[in-house]
């Protein structure tokens, strides 16, 4: 950020603040956006994409591209360029991996289904469930 | 025997039928006023379910269809190659959950009846349910797991079936609306008029989803197919925390109802892209696709009853489509008794994606005169429950 | 609130929305202005927040005094309620019946992307849509590297954050907007190593030279542009026409770009590429109007993809008005003229009223100016030649040009909707705002013509809403005087001259 003393628009003395980003303390001034604080610290990329893990930071700067998403105080999907930094805010960078491909595509064991609960345990009258377990299943619960 | 068919509608039903017929050596032309998958097939969730069907003919059709999906997906992958986008077929299983005490006995009764009809419906205790879905509300009252329930990306599946049909010789005419029928001197239907000229064939199959009524009227008969609007919410990508299709037990009641007023019943699942789909609503309001915030609010509230953690999830879009609703809750498959040459494959309400493959085989077998795997009579237009809704041939 | 006062709801507090608010108030309407930001001014007057007062901030902006005066007037006007941090997330069309207004506007009030924001619902007598536009940046290899940003981002960082964005910055794209971007960067102390305008001299002449006497009436504009050009000279920033950044290079951030000549169709000319070291790149190829609320309201769009309006700025939906960039990209002067006419008409003012005669004249002058910009700088169809198979076209879902084409080929689909689903392009969290137009153009070319009539501009959910917020009840505000301003941030002048 342009140091106040060097800035030709003659800013008044700003109020300092600090946030943590992934546990690291970053200093900023009141009125800055979270993206501003992060960029001013020299960090250009603060999110990793889902499919290829490539870094992203800000792109559009006006809140339409959603590249700059961070988690703030536990809330995900916050656009860092739109949200003002608040002293003490806990910011975590976002990276959402894609789910594993469906088991039918992996060709591996499908997630096994549990067996029905015997009526004596459940306490509810029911007919015994047919044990129609496909041969590919291992009879236990995966994951 | 003449061996050519015009299929009106390039959604999943039309595509599946075209493929089945083409594979059997029938000359098929598919026409659509839009493009492939430009209607309901690209505006739905992609449910391949047995869990929501009680004993009866629709369940039979669903079980028949379920037996076909794995093999068809594999065959399509071989035919179309690795470059074709994945159909995202996933037999992930469905978990139906009663969130209220009052909802538990009907759910368990329903599951018992389903088991009697050969459905794999497994009652789970709380610990087992939470092992399948750790983020499920722990205060649910009953849970039944259906390992046969599956998911597919419906627009891609439609594209794949159509691509395969064309590989096997089917012809596709897009942006070609049908404007009327062509009759021979005996009054039989022998083709259609379109914006791009006439097309002749010995059979015309209406597979136009909720628009089948309009199309049938152009051909001179009344069909009581009505649109039933459904909306879905899509969240942004999030860490994978929902592993199966999960429904509120209300879902079953909503499907089977006639009520035109808004009905919502929660269906929640993850997608291959990492988003979460939240459905679903049912409303009869013609073809009005305008947003109603009240509907979305109900979908959200009911989803949170199943998965409280979703409160923080961001809804990034909503979409919806029109299911083809039949007054007697059964699809319409087969020849129209009122007009020789006219056939139907429509009226699948919210089950069209899953039922498409079995519908296609029935259509093929009925047209070729080969034995059907299940009894097709319950789906024919001449069934008793439908007769009161059919008027005579118009014009 | 007097029952006879017309309630006008204005969505967007940029130049068009503020001008509309003032004009509606002058006609005696009761006005509510909504903006998702905690500041007024939109993008054009994006300025430092109240916590960072600066004596000479006005030097960063055009007409800043005018903006400050306008803001002050509206803030001090009891008949004008301004809600900051007000995000419109849905707009339901009006129902039938005499009491039905033009639409129901659903708002989330609170900090951007907050959780548990308050939900408000408005059913005004009239709606003025002034939702503006954002940069359109065409994809090119490496555009997804950190350090590559839009022109709008450069402006935001300079004027709203005072961040020095890069030591060696390249500005590229098309349109007169590149000049103020370069000026803002230079004023924060960045070294702008070059401005590369894709339009060629003949193309520029086509736009700017026909009937040059028309520009005389846009004299203010000419002075403004002359100022930029003079600024360029002072800062010795090279300005090249017929050139484009065709690739950005770097591992985890941009380190260099390749600049090449482009032909009249914007296709790169082989063999003309040269490498320029740069640690920041600002690219803008024009603007995309923000149409989702207009579409949600049922407004018809014209062939060029803007909201159709009549002489009173009313859309095809009775009671819904549109002003500013959503009716055509024309810049601040046109936006304010349209805003004034829209606010006046929404408040019941007659079209031929003398009070708007000047605005009507200005609208005519600056609309022709806007046409020239498009003729000179509008995107030309050869740009896809810049793309390589692994160039991202959809940033959110990381869809490459190669996979877009191969999926279109393998599925043979001509449905934009189905292709979005099979490629994932446009289905990410930005919902096609960045890539939508480009994806549509690429697919139109690849398929030979899309045939399903769908559009990437249609977004019934206009901004993300959390499921918990959606499930919670709404607060209807029939009496707008009940609304309390959640932010006391004032846009009063920050220091005096």
Radius of gyration (Cα) for chain C, nearest Å?
23
Task: Give the separation between CA B255 and CA C380, rounded to whole angstroms.
Answer: 51
Position C214 scores a pLDDT of: 58
Q: Could you tell me the residue range of the domain that residue C419 belongs to?
A: 385-447
Question: H or E segment at C80?
Answer: strand C80-83
Mapping DSSP to helix (H, G, I), strand (E, B) and coil, where does residue B63 land? helix
**Percent of chain C clearing pLDDT 90 (strictly above):** 75
Chain A CA closest to residue B312: A75
Q: Give chain B positions within 8 Å (CB) of A76.
A: 236, 238, 312, 314
- CA distances for B165 relative to B191, C89, C493, angstroms: 20, 42, 68
**In this structure, is residue C423 part of a structural domain?**
yes
Q: Give chain A positions within 8 Å (CB) of C398.
A: 49-52, 54
- Rounded to the nearest angstrom, the gap between the alpha carbon of residue B343 and the centroid of all alpha carbons in its chain is 18
If asked whether residues C213 and C347 sit together in one domain, one would say no
If asked whether residues C173 and C94 sit together in one domain, one would say no
- CA distances for C346 relative to C8, C352, C358, angstroms: 7, 14, 18
Distance from CA of B119 to the nearest CA of A (A): 9
Q: What is the pTM of this model?
A: 0.91
- Residue C382: which of C440, C445, C443 has the closest Cα? C445
State pLDDT tens for residues C163-175. 988 899 999 999 9
If asked whether residues C404 and C364 sit together in one domain, one would say no
Say yes or no: B291 contacts chain C, CB-CB below 8 A: yes
Phi, psi of C11, deg, nearest 5: -105, 110
Mapping DSSP to helix (H, G, I), strand (E, B) and coil, where does residue C78 land? coil
Q: Which domains does chain B have, with CATH numbers?
A: 4-68+154-225+328-389 (3.50.50.60), 94-147+226-324 (3.30.9.10)
Of A77, A102, A117, Cβ closest to residue B125: A117
Is residue B73's pLDDT more than 90?
yes
- Residue C18: which of C336, C263, C431 has the closest Cα? C336
Q: What would the two tokens of residue A84 be?
A: 């003002």
**Percent of chain C clearing pLDDT 70 (strictly above):** 87
Distance from CA of C155 to the nearest CA of B (A): 27
Pick the most confident of A123-137, C14-28, C196-210: C14-28
Question: H or E segment at B274?
Answer: none
Top-confidence residue, C330 or B254: C330
Is residue C340's pLDDT more than 90?
yes
Phi, psi of C101, deg, nearest 5: -85, -170
Task: Give the separation between CA B354 and CA B12, rounded to whole angstroms.
Answer: 9
CA torsion sign for B380, B382, B388, B392 is positive
Cβ contacts of residue C3 below 8 Å, gap of 6+?
Answer: none
Mean pLDDT, rounded, for B21-40: 97
**In this structure, is residue C493 part of a structural domain?**
no
- Residue B359: which of B227, B161, B222 has the closest Cα? B161
Q: What would the two tokens of residue C254 be?
A: 């941009």
Q: Give chain C positions within 8 Å (CB) of A79.
A: 112-113
- Rounded to the nearest angstrom, the gap between the alpha carbon of residue C276 and the centroid of all alpha carbons in its chain is 29
Task: Give the separation between CA B244 and CA C280, rounded to whole angstroms.
Answer: 45
- Residue to test with chain C: of A59, A70, A86, A89, most C Cβ within 10 A: A59
Kindly report which listed range (C12-16, C411-415, C490-494) carries the lowest average pLDDT score.
C490-494
Task: Give the separation between CA C183 and CA C165, rounded to whole angstroms.
Answer: 13
Mean pLDDT, rounded, for B373-395: 84
Q: What would the two tokens of residue C8 be?
A: 């006008």
CATH level 2 (architecture), domain A4-93? Roll (3.10)
Q: Give chain C positions within 8 Å (CB) of B76.
A: none
Instruction: Select from C258, C285, C312 the last residue of a domain.
Output: C285
Average pLDDT of chain C, as a whole number:
89
State pLDDT tens for residues C351-384. 899 999 999 999 999 998 888 888 889 999 999 9
Confidence of residue C413 (pLDDT cuts 50, 70, 90): very high
Position A123 scores a pLDDT of: 35
Average pLDDT of chain B, as a whole number:
94
Position C293 scores a pLDDT of: 98
Cβ within 8 Å of A, B 160-189: none
Q: Domain of C307: which CATH number? A: 3.50.50.60
Q: Give chain A positions within 8 Å (CB) of C37.
A: 82
* Look-up of token digits 């002449």: C205
Position B102 scores a pLDDT of: 87
ipTM, two decimals: 0.94
Position A119 scores a pLDDT of: 38
Q: Give chain C positions within 8 Å (CB) of B36.
A: 413-415, 418
Position B182 scores a pLDDT of: 97
**Cis geometry, peptide bond prior to residue C151 (ω within 30 degrees of 0):** no
- Rounded to the nearest angstrom, the gap between the alpha carbon of residue B322 and the centroid of all alpha carbons in its chain is 11
Task: Give the separation between CA C468 and CA C476, rounded to whole angstroms.
Answer: 18
Q: Give chain B positions within 8 Å (CB) of C102.
A: none
If asked whether residues C266 and C295 sit together in one domain, one would say no
Instruction: Say how many C-beta atoms besides its own lie within 10 A of residue A41's C-beta.
Output: 15
Distance from CA of B331 to the nearest CA of C (A): 25
Position C455 scores a pLDDT of: 87
If asked whether residues C272 and C142 sit together in one domain, one would say yes
Chain C CA closest to residue B276: C467
Position A129 scores a pLDDT of: 34
Q: What would the two tokens of residue B93 be?
A: 């299983």
Would you call B312 and C428 a contact, using CB atoms and an 8 Å cutoff?
no
- Residue B144: which of B91, B99, B92, B97 has the closest Cα? B97
State pLDDT tens for residues B227-278. 999 999 999 999 999 999 999 986 655 556 666 688 898 999 999 999 999 9
Q: What DSSP state is assigned to residue B258?
A: -
The full DSSP string for A15-83 is PEEEEEETTEEEEEETT-BHHHHHHHTT----EE-TTT--EE--SSSSSSS-TTEEEETTEEEEETTTS
- The answer to whether residues A131 and B147 touch, using CB atoms and an 8 Å cutoff, is no
If asked whether residues C88 and C50 sit together in one domain, one would say yes
If asked whether residues C201 and C316 sit together in one domain, one would say no
- Residue to test with chain C: of A31, A69, A79, A95, most C Cβ within 10 A: A31
Is residue A19's pLDDT more than 80?
yes
Task: Give the separation between CA A22 and CA A94, rounded to whole angstroms.
Answer: 10
What's the number of CA atoms in the CB half-sphere (13 Å) around residue A85?
Answer: 28
Cβ within 8 Å of C, B 70-89: 80-81, 83-85
Position A140 scores a pLDDT of: 30
State pLDDT tens for residues C146-155. 999 999 999 9
- The answer to whether residues C159 and C184 touch, using CB atoms and an 8 Å cutoff, is yes
Would you call C467 and B233 a contact, using CB atoms and an 8 Å cutoff?
yes
Q: What would the two tokens of residue B65 be?
A: 């269809």
Kindly report which listed range (B34-48, B270-284, C196-210) carries the lowest average pLDDT score.
C196-210
Chain B CA closest to residue C422: B156
Distance from CA of A85 to the nearest CA of B (A): 20
Cβ within 8 Å of C, A 59-118: 59-67, 69, 75, 77-79, 81-84
Distance from CA of C358 to the nearest CA of A (A): 32
Position C487 scores a pLDDT of: 37
Position C215 scores a pLDDT of: 57
Distance from CA of A45 to the nearest CA of B (A): 19
State pLDDT tens for residues A36-78. 999 999 999 999 999 999 999 999 999 999 999 999 999 999 9
Say yes or no: B86 contacts chain A, CB-CB below 8 A: yes
Would you call C471 and B42 a contact, using CB atoms and an 8 Å cutoff?
no
Instruction: Select from C226, C259, C285 the last residue of a domain.
Output: C285
Say yes or no: A32 contacts chain C, CB-CB below 8 A: yes
State pLDDT tens for residues C270-314. 999 999 999 999 999 999 999 999 999 999 999 999 999 999 999
- The answer to whether residues C292 and C458 touch, using CB atoms and an 8 Å cutoff, is yes
* Look-up of token digits 């897009």: B174
Confidence of residue C212 (pLDDT cuts 50, 70, 90): low
Is residue C483's pLDDT more than 60?
no
Cβ within 8 Å of A, B 279-338: 312, 314
Q: Give chain A positions within 8 Å (CB) of C151.
A: none
Counting one residue from A and one from B, how many pairs have CB atoms under 8 Å apart? 90
Task: Give the separation between CA C495 and CA C497, rounded to whole angstroms.
Answer: 7
**In this structure, is residue C379 part of a structural domain?**
no
Q: Give chain C positions within 8 Å (CB) of A30.
A: 51-52
Task: Give the separation between CA B317 and CA C397, rounded to whole angstroms.
Answer: 15
Q: What angle do CA A109, A113, A116 make, to 5 degrees?
A: 155
Confidence of residue C229 (pLDDT cuts 50, 70, 90): low
If asked whether residues C276 and C306 sit together in one domain, one would say no
Instruction: Select from C269, C285, C301 the last residue of a domain.
Output: C285
Is residue C493's pLDDT more than 60?
no
State pLDDT tens for residues A95-140. 988 988 765 554 333 344 444 444 333 333 333 333 333 333 333 3
Say yes or no: A16 contacts chain C, CB-CB below 8 A: no
Return the domain boundaries, chain A: 4-93
Q: What angle do CA B338, B342, B348 make, to 5 degrees?
A: 100
Confidence of residue C234 (pLDDT cuts 50, 70, 90): low
């Amino acid at each position: 950020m342009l140091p106040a003393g060097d800035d030709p628009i003659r800013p008044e003395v700003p109020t300092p603040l600090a946030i943590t980003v992934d546990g690291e303390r970053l200093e900023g001034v009141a009125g800055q956006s979270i993206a501003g604080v992060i960029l001013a610290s020299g960090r250009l990329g603060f999110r990793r994409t889902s499919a290829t893990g490539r870094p992203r930071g800000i792109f559009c700067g006006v809140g339409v591209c959603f590249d700059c998403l961070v988690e703030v105080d536990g809330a995900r999907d916050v656009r860092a360029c739109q949200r003002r930094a608040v002293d003490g805010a806990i910011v975590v960078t976002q990276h959402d991996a894609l789910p594993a491909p469906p088991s039918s595509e992996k060709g591996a064991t499908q997630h096994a289904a549990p067996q029905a609960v015997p009526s004596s345990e459940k306490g509810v009258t029911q007919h015994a469930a047919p044990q129609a377990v496909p041969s590919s299943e291992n009879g236990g619960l995966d994951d | 025997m003449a061996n050519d068919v015009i299929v009106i509608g390039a959604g999943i039903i039309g595509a599946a039928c075209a493929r089945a017929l083409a594979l059997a050596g029938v000359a098929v032309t598919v026409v659509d006023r839009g493009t492939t998958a430009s209607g309901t097939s690209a505006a739905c969730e992609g449910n391949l379910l047995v869990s929501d069907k009680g004993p009866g003919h629709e369940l039979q059709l669903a079980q028949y269809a379920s037996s076909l999906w794995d093999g068809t997906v594999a065959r399509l992958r071989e035919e179309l190659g690795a470059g074709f986008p994945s159909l995202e077929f996933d037999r992930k299983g469905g978990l139906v959950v009663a969130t209220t005490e009052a909802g538990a006995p009907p759910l368990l009764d329903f599951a018992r009846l389903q088991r009697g009809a050969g459905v794999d419906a497994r009652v789970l205790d709380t610990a087992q349910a939470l092992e399948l879905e750790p983020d499920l509300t722990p205060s649910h009252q009953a849970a039944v797991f259906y390992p046969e329930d599956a998911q597919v990306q419906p627009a891609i599946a439609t594209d794949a079936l159509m691509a395969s049909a064309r590989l096997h010789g089917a012809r596709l005419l897009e942006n070609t609306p049908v404007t009327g029928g062509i009759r021979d001197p005996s009054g039989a239907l022998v083709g259609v008029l379109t914006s791009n000229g006439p097309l002749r064939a010995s059979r015309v199959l209406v597979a136009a989803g909720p628009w089948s009524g309009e199309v049938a009227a152009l051909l001179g008969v009344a069909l009581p197919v009505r649109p039933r609007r459904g909306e879905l919410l899509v969240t942004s990508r999030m860490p994978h925390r929902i592993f199966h299709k999960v429904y509120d037990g209300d879902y079953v009641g909503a499907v089977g109802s006639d009520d035109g007023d808004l009905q919502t019943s929660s269906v929640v699942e993850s997608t291959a892209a990492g988003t979460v789909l939240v459905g679903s609503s049912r409303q009869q309001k013609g073809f009005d696709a305008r947003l109603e915030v009240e509907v979305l609010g109900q979908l959200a509230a009911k989803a949170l009853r199943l998965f409280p953690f979703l409160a923080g999830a961001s809804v990034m879009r909503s979409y919806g489509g029109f299911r083809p609703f039949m007054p007697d809750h059964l699809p319409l498959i087969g020849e129209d008794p009122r007009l020789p040459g006219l056939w139907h494959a429509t009226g699948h309400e919210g089950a069209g994606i899953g039922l498409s493959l079995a519908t296609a085989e029935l259509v093929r077998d009925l047209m070729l005169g080969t034995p059907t795997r299940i009894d097709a009579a319950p789906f024919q237009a001449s069934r008793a429950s439908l007769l009161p809704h059919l008027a005579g041939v118009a014009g | 609130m007097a029952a006879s006062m017309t309630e006008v709801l204005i969505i967007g507090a940029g130049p068009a929305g503020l001008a509309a608010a003032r004009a509606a108030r002058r006609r005696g309407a009761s006005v509510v202005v909504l903006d998702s930001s905690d500041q007024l001014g939109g993008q054009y007057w994006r300025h430092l927040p109240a916590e960072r007062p600066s004596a000479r901030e006005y030097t960063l902006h055009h007409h800043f005094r005018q903006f400050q005066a306008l803001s002050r007037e509206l803030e001090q006007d009891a008949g004008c309620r301004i809600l900051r941090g007000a995000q419109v997330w849905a707009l339901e069309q009006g129902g039938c019946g005499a009491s039905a207004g033009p639409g129901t506007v659903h708002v989330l009030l609170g900090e951007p992307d907050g959780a548990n924001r308050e939900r408000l619902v408005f059913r005004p007598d009239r709606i003025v849509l002034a939702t503006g536009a954002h940069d359109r940046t065409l994809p090119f290899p490496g555009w997804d590297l950190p350090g590559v940003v839009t022109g709008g981002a450069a402006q935001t960082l300079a004027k709203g954050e005072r961040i020095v964005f890069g030591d060696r910055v390249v500005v590229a794209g098309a349109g007169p907007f590149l000049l103020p971007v370069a000026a803002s960067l230079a004023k924060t102390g960045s070294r702008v190593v070059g401005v590369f305008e894709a339009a060629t001299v003949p193309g520029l002449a086509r736009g700017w030279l026909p009937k040059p006497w028309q520009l005389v009436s846009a004299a203010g504009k000419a002075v403004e542009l002359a100022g930029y050009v003079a600024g360029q000279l002072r800062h010795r920033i090279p300005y090249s026409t017929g050139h484009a950044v065709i690739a950005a290079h770097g591992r985890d951030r941009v380190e260099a770009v390749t600049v090449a000549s482009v032909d009249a169709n914007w296709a790169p000319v082989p063999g003309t590429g040269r490498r320029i070291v740069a640690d920041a790149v600002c690219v803008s190829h024009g603007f995309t109007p923000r149409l989702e609320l207009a579409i949600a309201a049922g407004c018809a769009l014209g062939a060029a993809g803007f909201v159709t309006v009549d002489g009173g700025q009313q859309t095809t939906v009775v009671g819904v008005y549109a002003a500013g960039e959503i009716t055509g990209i024309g810049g601040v002067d046109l936006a304010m003229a349209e805003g004034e006419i829209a606010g006046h008409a929404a408040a019941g003012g007659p079209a031929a009223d003398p009070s708007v005669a000047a605005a009507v004249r200005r609208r005519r002058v600056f609309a022709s100016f806007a046409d020239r910009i498009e003729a000179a700088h509008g995107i030309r169809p050869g740009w896809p030649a810049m793309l390589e198979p692994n160039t991202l076209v959809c940033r959110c879902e990381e869809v490459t040009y190669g996979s877009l084409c191969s999926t279109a080929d393998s599925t043979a689909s001509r449905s934009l909707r189905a292709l979005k689903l099979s490629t994932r392009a446009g289905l990410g969290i930005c919902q096609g705002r960045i890539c939508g137009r480009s994806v549509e153009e690429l697919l139109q070319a690849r398929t030979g013509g899309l045939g399903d009539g769908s559009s990437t501009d249609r977004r019934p959910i206009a901004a993300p809403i959390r499921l918990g917020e959606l499930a919670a009840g709404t607060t209807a505000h029939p009496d707008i005087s009940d609304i309390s301003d959640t932010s006391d941030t004032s846009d009063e002048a920050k220091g005096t001259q």
